[in-house]
Amino acid sequence: MGNQLAWNKRYNIGVEIIDNEHKKLISILNKLFDLGMQEEKRQWVCQEAVKYFKDHALQHFADEEAYMASVSYEGLELHRRIHDNFREITLPALEKEIEQADYSEDAVSHFLGVCAGWLLGHTLIEDHAIVRGEPIKQWVNLLPDEEQAVMGQAIANQLYQMFQLNARLISNCYGGEKFGSGIYYRLIYSTKDKKRWEFLLILEEKLIVSTIGSVLKTKSEALSTMMMNAARYISRQLVEHIREHFPGLDKADIKEEQLLTYDQFQKVFEKHSPQYSLLFDTGAGYFAFCMTTADMVPAEDGISIITENAMSAVTQYLNQSRAEKEAASHRKKVLIVDDSAFILKTMQNVLCNDYEVLTVTSGMAAIRSITLDRPDLILLDYEMPVCKGNQVLEMIRSEEDFADIPVIFLTSRVDKERIQKVLELKPNGYLSKSLSPEAVKKEVDHFFEKQG
């Protein structure tokens, strides 16, 4: 606690009514940070914070949306949905969490940290997109909020009926981030007229062990072939139970069933914008549900399951997952943040033999990735077009849980003026993109050697 947010001119988007409200919100948050240090006032702090943010959602969001309408901003409806997701899903989930934790210091800190992080990220990315006239395109295919809510409730009901889990929907804009050790399951349905549905279900391993494992009365804390087969069929049954929400799906048959690695899942996820992309906290582990009706090319390197090979395919997948997990347990985790697919692929190829490598293409995706799967080192592009590297670094350093993560800038310019600006931000170093992949690998190796 005790963190302070300093207003910076880069937060200005150039619209007075929006900028003034952002300044006011930061001022209120700073007061709440200070008051949150006083134990006797902690419950009041949280109650007032929730009240203020609800009022802010009603007023500031309305003002911002009115401005977007006045300038005929193409991304108005999508922007409004981002507002609604925070106000109607994220805030209530946080409020319930702090109430259940009896307003502990950690819960208060988490609540205020999330609010601060959301404000900075939303201001630097989505709000700045307004004045550029460039709508955020990642969620253009998401279905209306009413349908998202119905689907979220339907899935939560199924999880309760199956496992007595009180699952909470914490985002209807899940971005495909990795959370812990996960199982990535893909179901493809199609009709005779080639209508196609794809479902991606992501289950955290500890969720499977704590639910299916308890039903099977196993004492193992590791996934078994029996658990995996049970998880597959339960996942299929979950999808079967919600078929009624998809007109035409009742006439479709399962065309393909696959188990994917995280890298394969990422490739599938990034090809098309999902219509549903829901993330739940079940209390026993995370669960994500994604659906698209767009044509997608099947992952050629995924493990396909058919009746004749089901036992061997699941065993192969488990063995592969265990081998990857064992290798990863001895490896440092490196997160690469860059908007260039070429740079990401090049870096991943040169580092993957000795490190566990995660890749994201934007600042907000980096923050989400850090939250769900903390890295040992971040290689951060300094010159990203929307949320620049210095802004991402400030968001990382402003969050107590992330502040000590080492960050090395990647920059395409190494002139004296640029280097001076980079060093003023106090990163753990910088690397020129003109270096050969082998030289970058050598520098990363040297960094970890110095750390011991």
pLDDT higher than 50, residue 1:
no
* Mean local confidence (pLDDT), 160-167: 86
Cα–Cα distance for residue pair 264/258, rounded to 1 Å: 11
Cα–Cα distance for residue pair 427/380, rounded to 1 Å: 10
The CATH number assigned to the domain with range 331-445 reads 3.40.50.2300
Domain boundaries, the chain: 9-132, 145-325, 331-445
265-276 pLDDT per residue, tens = 887 887 777 888
Of 394, 399, 401, 406, which Cα lies nearest the Cα of 431? 406
At residue 299 the predicted structure's pLDDT band, cuts being 50, 70 and 90, is very low
pLDDT higher than 70, residue 113:
no
What is the residue-averaged pLDDT of the chain? 76
Q: Flag the least confident range among 102-111, 161-170, 388-397.
A: 102-111
The model's pTM: 0.53
3-state secondary structure 257-284: EEEECHHHHHHHHHHCCCCEEEEEECCC
Cα–Cα distance for residue pair 19/79, rounded to 1 Å: 17
The superfamily (CATH) of domain 145-325 is: CheC-like (3.40.1550.10)
403-438 pLDDT per residue, tens = 889 999 887 765 566 666 656 667 888 888 778 888
> So what's the pLDDT on residue 38?
59
> So what's the pLDDT on residue 75?
81
> So what's the pLDDT on residue 259?
86
For residue 9 the two structure tokens come to 């001119």
133-156 pLDDT per residue, tens = 665 555 667 777 778 888 888 899
CATH topology (fold) of 9-132: Four Helix Bundle (Hemerythrin (Met), subunit A) (1.20.120)
Domain 9-132 identical in fold to domain 145-325: no
181, 307 in Cβ contact below 8 A?
no
> So what's the pLDDT on residue 307?
46
Pick left, alpha or beta for residue 341 (phi over 0 → left; psi -120 to 50 → alpha; otherwise beta).
alpha
